[in-house]
Structure 1
Amino acid sequence: MEHILELKNISKSFRNTKALDGVSLTLYPGEIHALLGENGAGKSTVLNIISGTYLPDAGEMIYKGEKTTMESPMYARKKGIVMVHQELQLVPEMTVYENIFLADEIVNPITKFIDYKKMESKADELLKRVDADFKSCVSVKSLSIAQQQMVEIAKALHLNSDVMILDEPTSSLTDKEIEKLFVIMEKLRAEKKALLFVSHRMEEIFRIADRITIFRDGKFIDSMPAKGVGREELIYKLTGRKIQSVFNTESLKKPEGIALSVRNLKDAAGKIAGDGVSFDLYKGEILGFSGLVGSGRTETVRLIFGADKIRSGEIKINGNTVKIKSIRDSIKQGIALIPENRKLEGFVGTAKNMNNIGMCSYDRLKRGLLFDRDILKNAKEYMKKLHVKPEDPMKHTQNLSGGNQQKVVLAKWLCTGPKILIMDEPTRGVDIGAKEEIYKLMNDLTRQGVSIIMISSELPEILMMSNRIMVMFEGKMNAIINREDATEEKILNYAMGGTS
C-alpha cells in the first residue's frame, strides 16, 4: 500500500533547544497510527509541522506522492490535513454549526447572505456520522468535553480531510466516552482516513492502534506494528530504561493521628448533596478520591483549599478548627492544591518558570526586599529536584510539554512546604516516565509526614497509590474502603450508587 504522508529526517530547533533531530514517520490510508514518546520527546512539534503551525528547519515532507511544505494551518486544511488539539479550538459562545463552518460559511448564491439553514442541515448530517447525541443548533458551551471533541471531528469531516491528527483526545474523557470515541475512530479507519493518534495510556494503544512510532529526546527510535509488541518492550523503547513498580507500601501501618478532619462540608453552589461531605485524612497517608465525573470530588477539595465558598461545615487541622475563606488562608494552614486544569489554574502562561515556581513563596524568599537572584536560585533547585526539561528557569512555562508543565506546578506548591497536599488528576496527560517520578515523589512526601488527597479517574492508579479510598456519588461520600479490601469492581459499584 502506498503511503499518504511521509516525513524524512525532519529537524526543528527553538533557540538553543533542538526539539526534533532527524525524525521520520510514515502514515498510510485506513490506519490508526500511534505516536508515542515521553513529554518533551518532540511529538507536539512534529504534529505542528504536519498541520502547518511550524516550518521544519531541515528534512522533507511527502504528501500524496508530492514533496510539499505545509505553510500554515489553513493551507494544511485545504490539503486535507486537520488536527484536533488536546486543548479544543472551538468558540464557546457560537453554535455547533457556526463552529463547523467557521471561515467556510455557506453563502446563498442569489442573496449573497450566509445560509444558516443549510449550514445547520449539513452540520446535523455530519454529527450523525459521528453518532452525536445533540443537534447543531445548540451552543458549544453547553456541551461536555467529549461532545466538543465530536464537533471537532465533525468539522474535520466537513473539510473532507484525509489525514486526521488526534492529540491526546482521551485525556479528559470517561471510560464510556473513550469507548465511543474509539468506535468513531474505527469508522473513520474503515472510510480509509489516516489517523495519527497521541496517547500516554498503554491500554489505549493496544486497544486501537495498528502501528506505533516512538520518539525519544527529539529522535526517531522505532516504528512497528502494534500487534505482538509487549508492554515492557514498549516502555523500554519509550524511556530507555526499565520502569520499576512504585506501589505504595507505606500504608496500613497504625495511623499517627488525624491531619485533616472534615465534617458536613457543603458548598454555596449546592453541588454537594445531603448533609455534606465528612472524612478524616491521617498523617502520612494517601487518601484516594474516586467517583464518576460530576460526583463532587473536585468540588470538595476546592472548598478545603478555599477556591470556592463554603456554605456550612467544619474543617479541623491537627485537631484545631480553622476558617478557610480564601486560598491565602489555606496556604497559611499548610494546604496546597495541584489543580485538575493546569493550564487554566496551575500556572501563568505568559510567566517564566522561575516566577511560576516562586509566586506562592515570595514571602519566604524575600529578605526585606525580593531579589530576582533568590527567585532564580529557588527555581533552579526545584527544577533540578523534579527533573524539569529543559532545566531553564527563564523559559516560559507555556512552552514546555504537558508533563514538564505539571512538574512546574508541583514545584510551585512544594516550595510552600505543605503539610496537606491535594492532587487533582496529577498524572493526566503525562508520560509513563513522568508518572513514575510523580508516584515516587508522593511516596517520599508521605514518608516525611505529608498527607495527600489524590483524585484520579484511573482505577489502577487509585488502587496502586492509595492507603484508603473514598468513593463519591452524586455529591456525597458513598464509601471509604481500605486498600486491602478494594477492587475495581467494588469501587465502580460504589461510584454508581451501589451499597455493600
Structure 2
Amino acid sequence: MAGEDAVLEVTDLTVEFPGVKALDHVAFSVLPGEVHAIVGENGAGKSTLLKILGGVYAPTRGSLSLAGEPYAPSRPSDAILAGIAIIYQEFTLFPDLTVAENVFVGREPYSRFTRGIDYASMRDECRRVFATLDTDIDPDALAGDLSVSEQQLVEIAKALSVDGRVIVMDEPTAALSRSEVERLLTIVKRLRAEGRSIIYVSHHLEEVFEVADRATILRDGKRVTTLDIADTNEDELVQLMVGRDVKSVFEREPGVIGGVVLDVKGIAAGRILRDVSLTVRAGEVVGIGGVAGAGQAELTQAVFGALQLRSGTMTLEGTAFAPSTPADAIAAGVGYLHDDRKQAGIFPHLSVTHNLTVTILDRVRWFLGLLSFSKEATAYETYRSRMRIKASSPGQLISQLSGGNQQKVLLGRALAREGQLLLLNEPTRGVDIGAKAEIHALISELTAAGVAVLMISSDLPELIGMSDRIVVLSHGTVVGRLDGDDRTEENVIACATTEKRIGLAA
C-alpha cells in the first residue's frame, strides 16, 4: 500500500545523537484517510520520529515525501505550512497567554481595520473548534490556569485549527478523563471519514484497536513491522513491541495487611475537597477513583502539606499529622509522585542523580554542607538498580531519558526518605506497557515490604487491578467504598458519574 498513493512516505530514516542511534533505517507510509498507529516502548524512537516530521530535528540519513513531493522541514513552521499538525505529548502552551492566543500563536488573523490582531475572529474560531470537541473552554482564559485535561484539549484544538492534511497525535489521551477519551476517539474517526490522515501514537492499545487501520511497531529505534490492525491482536502487538512476554500488567497479588499508617478523618481542603475520611494500612494500595476534577489531586496535596486543611484531622502511624508544607511531609517520610511529570516533577536541566537526591540532600552532604560525590553516587546506584532505571550515566540529564525512565526516577525520589507512606498520582501516565508492568511490579514489591500506598489513577484497569480497596470521589466527597467483588469498572463509573453510593453506611 506504499508508494505513489501515500500521503506521507518515510524512507530509510536514521537519526544519530552522540553515542545513540535514536532511529535506524526506519521506513513506512501513511495513506490518505488512514489512521496509522506508531507503537513501541518508551525509548523506541517514537518521539524522535515525530520531531523529524515536525521540523524539530533533522535526520542524519534518509528522506521524507509529502503527497509525492520531497519534504524536508527545517523548523516547526515549515511543518505547519506543509499541512502537518502535531500534538506533542509534552504540552507546548504559553501559560501567560490566553487560550485563543495559544491556539493561533504564530498565525494570528489580521484585521484591516485596526491593523492589528483580529481577536474577535480568534475567539470565534476557538469556540467553533471547541464545539467540535464538545467542550466550552473560555478562549479568554489563561492557559496556565487550566487543568491538565483542559490544556490537553487546547493542544488538540490548536492542531485541528491548522486544518492539516496529516494530523499527528502523540499520546493525546494521556491526561483526559474516560468521557473525554471517548469524545476524542469519535473526533479521530470523523477526521478519517473526512479523508484526513492521522498518525496516532498511544500506549493505550485499546485505543489503537478502536481507531487505527494499520500500525508500525518500533523497537530500539528500528521498525519491526507494519501490519493491518484487523490481522493482529493485543498479545501479538505487545510481543512485537517489547520482544518478550509481558504478563499480569494489572494484576497484583494481595499481601499481608498491617496496621493503619494513614488515618484521615473528615478533612476539607482547597476549593472542592470536603468531609473526606479514609485509612491506608501497611502493605495495601488504596485507590482513589472519580472523574477528572473530583478532588483526587486535592486529597493527596492535603496529605502532602501542599494544601492547608480547613477542617478535619490526620494521623501518620498513630501520631497527629498536620504538615504545613511539603517539606514537613517529606521530613515525616511521606513520598509524593505528581501527576504532571514535566511541569511539577522533573528538573529537566539537572542530572538523573540530582533529580533522585533532591529530597535527601541532608543525607548526601559532606563537610561544611557541601555535597558528597561518593554519597550521591551510592544513592544513584541504589535507586538506579532498585527502580531499574535505564540511564547512560549518573550525570545524564533526566530530560534525555524516556518518559518511563523519568517516571521511575521520580518514583525513586519519592521513596528516598524510606518512609511508610507513598502518595502516587497517575503513576503510569504516559509510559509504555513494558514500563507500566515494571512500575506495577515495583509497587507490589513496596507493599510486600509494608509500605502503604494511596494511588490516584484514571486508568480503570490499573485502578482495579492494583488496588486492595477503592475510594470513589465526586464533587470533593466520598461516594463509594469498593472492596472485594465490588471493585468493578461499572461500579467506579456509577459512583463517579451518577453519585450512586456503594459501600457507605446508610
Same fold (TM over 0.5): yes
**Residue range with higher mean Cα deviation, 96-105 or 341-350:** 96-105
Label 1:116 to 1:485 Cα distance change in 2 as closer, same or farther (>3 A).
Answer: closer
Aligned match of 1:292? 291
CA contact (8 A) 2:127 2:136 kept: no
Aligned match of 2:210? 207
CA contact (8 A) 2:90 2:342 kept: no
> What is the identity, as a one-letter code, of the residue corresponding to 1:405?
Q
Aligned match of 1:390? 391
> What is the identity, as a one-letter code, of the residue corresponding to 2:212?
A
Aligned match of 1:256? 258
Pairing 1:178–2:181 present = yes
Aligned residues: 495
Q: Deviations over 1:311-330 (max 9, x none)?
A: 23222122222332222221
Pairing 1:463–2:464 present = yes
In structure 2, distance between residues paired with 1:55 and 1:346 = 29
CA contact (8 A) 2:85 2:160 kept: no
In structure 1, distance between residues paired with 2:469 and 2:297 = 18
**Residue range with higher mean Cα deviation, 317-326 or 77-86:** 317-326
In structure 1, distance between residues paired with 2:15 and 2:217 = 17
Label 1:391 to 1:453 Cα distance change in 2 as closer, same or farther (>3 A).
Answer: farther
In structure 2, distance between residues paired with 1:270 and 1:120 = 28
Aligned match of 1:453? 454
State the 1:459 CA deviation: 1.6
In structure 1, distance between residues paired with 2:442 and 2:64 = 41
Aligned match of 1:498? 500
When the two structures are superposed, what TM-score results if normalisation uses the length of structure 2?
0.92
Aligned match of 2:87? 84
Aligned match of 1:430? 431
Q: Which runs of 5+ in 2 are unaligned?
A: none
> What is the identity, as a one-letter code, of the residue corresponding to 2:322?
K
Label 1:262 to 1:13 Cα distance change in 2 as closer, same or farther (>3 A).
Answer: same
SS of alignment partner, residue 166 of structure 1: strand
Aligned match of 1:28? 31
Aligned match of 1:62? 65
Label 1:227 to 1:290 Cα distance change in 2 as closer, same or farther (>3 A).
Answer: same
CA contact (8 A) 1:9 1:23 kept: yes
Pairing 1:115–2:118 present = yes
CA contact (8 A) 1:132 1:147 kept: no
State the 1:386 CA deviation: 2.0
Q: Which runs of 5+ in 1 are unaligned?
A: none
When the two structures are superposed, what TM-score results if normalisation uses the length of structure 1?
0.93
Label 1:172 to 1:127 Cα distance change in 2 as closer, same or farther (>3 A).
Answer: closer
SS of alignment partner, residue 429 of structure 1: coil
Aligned match of 1:413? 414
Label 1:422 to 1:126 Cα distance change in 2 as closer, same or farther (>3 A).
Answer: closer
Pairing 1:41–2:44 present = yes
CA contact (8 A) 2:152 2:176 kept: no
Map 1:145-294; keep pairs closer than 5 Å: 145-245=148-248, 247-251=251-255, 253=256, 255-267=257-269, 269-273=270-274, 276-294=275-293
In structure 2, distance between residues paired with 1:242 and 1:174 = 29
State the 1:354 CA deviation: 0.8
CA contact (8 A) 1:40 1:389 kept: no
> What is the identity, as a one-letter code, of the residue corresponding to 1:236?
Q
Pairing 1:366–2:368 present = no
State the 1:483 CA deviation: 2.8
Identity between Structure 1 and Structure 2 (%): 36
In structure 2, distance between residues paired with 1:287 and 1:135 = 36
Aligned match of 1:19? 22
SS of alignment partner, residue 444 of structure 1: helix
Label 1:121 to 1:443 Cα distance change in 2 as closer, same or farther (>3 A).
Answer: closer
Aligned match of 1:473? 474
> What is the identity, as a one-letter code, of the residue corresponding to 1:418?
G
